[in-house]
A and B are shown apart, each in its own frame.
Chain A
């Protein structure tokens, strides 16, 4: 079994390598430094979201509400600034809203023991609905003069590297540190591997789960700010898009088993790179939208099938509502 699991990462990486090589040879203009930077830049936000999702999935959960956390609090920042509030005050409000949202998610899952899939599905709708009904005047919240300077978070370059890539790198370092260097990170792996065993050994599993969703929501909010800065607006309707599937695709494709306890930041990076390469290559080839969806769907399906073969459900700890 152990050998096989080792193979899964290899498979994903091999697919990425083959695809990358093929594009480099057959696609003119693919293997240029500029295109490589564009490729990364285009998936940076997706990668940041992937980190948040990885954190939750490793702890044997899933967070469908990530896109709401991406759309609503950053949208609120733009809206408040547009209405004349100061940028720091707006940011603070958004962060508080995000934390409150993460707490609700975590409480529902850890204490009320609602399966994470259903809990976050509902809370995501709730937050998106709240945004539409009470917070935003329009779906697309436009940039206003008060936001001047803040667009640097998603535009321009730092030492020649596009800022959004730098943001992704920072997020990677932070999450890797949390997972690998802190006791809290070790607890997440323990809970994901076997929640009952974790509890029996005295790990404060409920507070850890709550914390996990709070951090995921905060990372989601950060991704939203980077995205808003990069397109100079916050299209809050992104909640209705299929972005969440892309995020799951990144995580599963990268080799983080949905049954929890495995994987890390490196897997997210591999998954993001593979998606980035696919999207970039298909855009250069000018493949139609339907064709791109088809390819993405097939790849996700293959990844999920491979995942369930290589990381079979643990019959002893699996329960109703688990992914």
Chain B
């Protein structure tokens, strides 16, 4: 009898244990039905990347960021580096069309050159993502900065800094043929139209060249020592603008606003040193992540190339003395490459 009771207890205990363990053992994991097609749609696909040139913070940052996101899924990356040569770029795009990568990531040197080619690429079934500098053709996606907004925000800051001062400002443009420069200038004009009291004493193109920007700014400052602000179009060039302001002993008196990719040495450090008063950053790592996200979405959607079109304009990070010290305002290229 005793034995029977003990046996019953053991059985009961065992049953209880089994009852607890049962769901885990008996039922198998639930299959997520979408991840496998997602992986399949990415594996072995080729993404071709045609920047205007490698070797500068923006294009290196985009490349590193996209690669980090996509290579683990078996996506192959190909770079065609035209090294600032528009013709070489057009040839690269043309030859890519016949090689049929799944996606082309294109950084346009101007509005027109690639436009027809990109349309052809999408007709051939290649997704085209245009980055930071768009063309006249609207492709599956645009990821990048809104230059008009950059021009407007930079100019607004300069106009504000000029209140109660001479109201004389200077504009240091990039290269005349570049869309980014022309769009930014439009933004500047938009704001100036609302502020007739502001006088533009100089509006010249420095060709994205720091030495030229410095030379122009020096001359302008000598003619107008009471200048109250400068709108620059790119921080890599405006390092020269800032050097001229510093040499004239006007740091802090002349408000220097510019924009760039937010790389630490080129942006935060220079804001900290007082060279720039405002640097609008289009945060390259975020842009890269958005590009990678768009590629994932397009490839997994199975949509016909060119059948859907959308834009992702970058939310700008204004870098000023307040946040230049923070870890998050800027990024390091070396970290992104890790």
Contact = CB atoms under 8 A, between A and B. Distances in A.
Given A42-B215, A138-B333, A289-B176, A35 B265 contact: no
A232 B251 CA distance: 15
B56 A227 contact: no
Interface stretch (B28-36, B219-227, B276-284, B286-294): B219-227
Given A139-B56, A142-B265, A283 B202 contact: yes
A38 B210 contact: no
A267 interface: no
A137 B333 contact: yes
B302 to A, nearest CB: 38
A286 B211 contact: no
A182 interface: no
Nearest to A41: B218
A280 B219 contact: yes
A284 interface: yes
A15 interface: no
Interface stretch (B123-131, B145-153, B190-198, B236-244): B236-244
A32 B219 CA distance: 12
The residue in B84, B176, B215, B333 that gathers the most chain A C-beta atoms within 10 A of its C-beta is B215
A144 B270 CA distance: 11
B205 interface: yes
Contacts of B266: 140, 142
Contact of B223 (A132, A235, A284): A284
A235 B209 contact: yes
26 contacts: A132-B83, A137-B333, A138-B57, A140-B210, A140-B236, A142-B269, A155-B246, A156-B247, A230-B211, A230-B214, A231-B210, A231-B240, A232-B239, A235-B209, A235-B211, A237-B84, A238-B211, A240-B83, A240-B84, A283-B202, A283-B220, A284-B219, A284-B223, A288-B205, A289-B205, A290-B176
Contacts of A155: 243, 246-247
Give the contact-size bracket for chain B: 35 or more
Interface in A140-159: 140, 142, 144, 155-156
A39 to B, nearest CB: 8
Given A38-B218, A237-B84, 8 more contacts: A38-B219, A38-B222, A137-B55, A155-B246, A230-B214, A235-B209, A235-B210, A238-B209
B204 A283 contact: yes
Interface residues of A, number: 38
The 7 residue pairs across chains A and B that have the minimum distance between CB atoms: A289-B205, A42-B215, A231-B210, A139-B56, A142-B265, A283-B219, A231-B240
Interface of A: 29, 32, 34-35, 38-39, 41-42, 45, 132, 136-140, 142, 144, 155-156, 162, 227, 230-233, 235, 237-238, 240-241, 279-280, 283-284, 286, 288-290
A34 B222 contact: yes
A139 B219 contact: no
Given A138-B56, A241-B209, A29 B222 contact: yes
A230 B243 contact: yes
Contacts of A34: 222
Main secondary structure of the interface of B (DSSP, over half): helix
Contact of A139 (B53, B265, B269): B53
A241 B209 CA distance: 9
A67 to B, nearest CB: 12
B216 interface: yes
A231 B203 contact: no
B189 interface: no
B60 interface: yes
Contacts of B84: 237, 240
Contacts of B211: 45, 227, 230-231, 235, 238
A289 B210 contact: no
Given A235-B210, A286-B203, A140 B243 contact: no
B207 interface: yes
Contacts of B60: 137-138
A230 B215 CA distance: 10
Interface in B160-210: 176, 201-205, 207, 209-210
A289 B265 CA distance: 30
B135 to A, nearest CB: 22
